[in-house]
Amino acid sequence: MHSSLPKVLHELAGEPLLGHVISVAKSLVQTRGGRIRVVTGHGSDQVDPFVIAQGAEVVHQHDQLGTGHALQIAMDGLASGGQTLVLYGDVPLISEEDIAPLLAAGESDLAVLTAVVSDPAGYGRIVRDGAGNVISIVEHRDASENERAISEVNSGIYAAPTSLFQDLLPRLTNGNAQNEYYLTDCVHHSVASGREVHAVEGAVTATMGVNDRQQLAELNQLLQKKRRQALMMAGVTLVDPDTVYLNGSDIHIQPDSIIEPNVTLNAPVSIGSHVTVGFGSHLTNVVIGDNTVVKPYTVAESASVGTNAQVGPFTRLRPGTELSDATHVGNFCETKNAKVGEGSKINHLSYVGDAVVGKRVNIGAGTITCNYDGAYKHQTTLGDDVFIGSNTSLIAPVTLGDGVTTGAGSVITTDVEPQNLALTRSKQITIAAYQRPKKTKD
């Protein structure tokens, strides 16, 4: 990957590669029971905290002596009962649908997930006898020319009774081009002991790993396409599907909503019905209610928007923004840590931060809540039916009661009682026949 970040922590569709695999494992554990152990080696100082945060156990492989050695370490101290499933942190598109038949085949014998691919270069080959029975798996580096012509490849994903793995693993040797203990050799030893090996053919995507950034991009396109198709089948319109990016699995959009081109959604995202998300919008950790219009080039993060609201175009909703029903936040406006009441409008060129805004408030163009004094943040509170004139500066902490009006261009520094007008406009001076300065030619 040519990166300081360990490969399994590179993100695929908004989540680390390893996160995709752990997520599948968690789902299996919920339905079947068991535990998840992740073997880490290179970059463990970065990988281990992620694994622990996901609720899985960490097992260290201090010397990278191959996949067979890694599984030996992972199984250290396990009882002999039950079944063991082997997954890989850089094979992220594996699904429960792929795994279910593998687990069924591996209840009493060794089972391996395979796929038939058009370009098997780099993969271990599944070698069968004349009767079609699996007799071995040969790594690409160790394969003969005839073996390299085989198109059925090993995914590296196995299932078997735990006791069988405990019997097979001590038999592994490192007499190969890599001087490593190959997990694939379990197939040979299982056959040699008279046991059957089951090859379960799965989807090609289940075997696809990531070894460079090009492969990462290719898998991202596959996963994005799958997520887009699922949304459209559920009744969501994607105007130009190939330009919509869905990062993270926790993205839920109700039917009859429309997602315009070049939109990025970063989970968690919850969007109601009959919502339009406009061209070029970028939404992260948002909740949007029914019948709301998000106009083009809106950027929102850790924010919520009610029903029948309008946001954008060119609006930024920063963390802590809570827009109630029927609110409007418009052109080149920014909000942060602001609760905006039902029916209130912030339509043009305004910044509202650390504020509580009541119902039916109109905030004029160019209004700023001056919330930071250089050391601390302070709150602005506006009651219901407040009308803020254009270019008003509200110097927090300050509270304006219900029905207050401020004059355009005012700087409000003290609280205003309900129904009052507050303005700090200096008297206009007019100079008759004023001559502007002019440049001289020299």
At the topology level, CATH places domain 7-207 in: Spore Coat Polysaccharide Biosynthesis Protein SpsA; Chain A (3.90.550)
By the 8 A CB rule, do 343 and 359 touch?
Answer: yes
Q: 286-344, pLDDT tens digit by residue?
A: 999 999 999 999 999 999 999 999 999 999 999 999 999 999 999 999 999 999 999 99
pLDDT at 11 (0 to 100): 97
What's the token pair of residue 431? Answer: 């100079």
Give 246-258 pLDDT, tens digit per residue: 999 999 999 999 9
Out of 140, 274, 348, 378, the active site residue is 348
- Which range among 141-145, 234-238, 423-427 has the greatest average pLDDT? 234-238
Work out the pLDDT band at 40, boundaries 50, 70, 90.
very high
Side chain identity at 199, as an amino acid letter? A
Across residues 18-32, what is the average pLDDT?
Answer: 97
CATH 3.90.550.10 residue ranges in the chain? 7-207
DSSP summary character for residue 211 = S
**Token pair 């989540």 is at which residue?**
15
**Ranges in the chain annotated CATH 2.160.10.10:** 234-422
The topology under which CATH files domain 234-422 is: UDP N-Acetylglucosamine Acyltransferase; domain 1 (2.160.10)
Quote the crossing angle between the two packed helices 17-32 and 44-53, to the nearest 10°. 40
SS3 65: coil
Residue-level pLDDT at 123? 85
| pLDDT for res 238 | 98
Verify whether residue 60 is a known catalytic residue.
no
Mean of the pLDDT values across residues 222-228? 97
Average pLDDT over residues 76-84: 93
Per-residue pLDDT at 178: 84
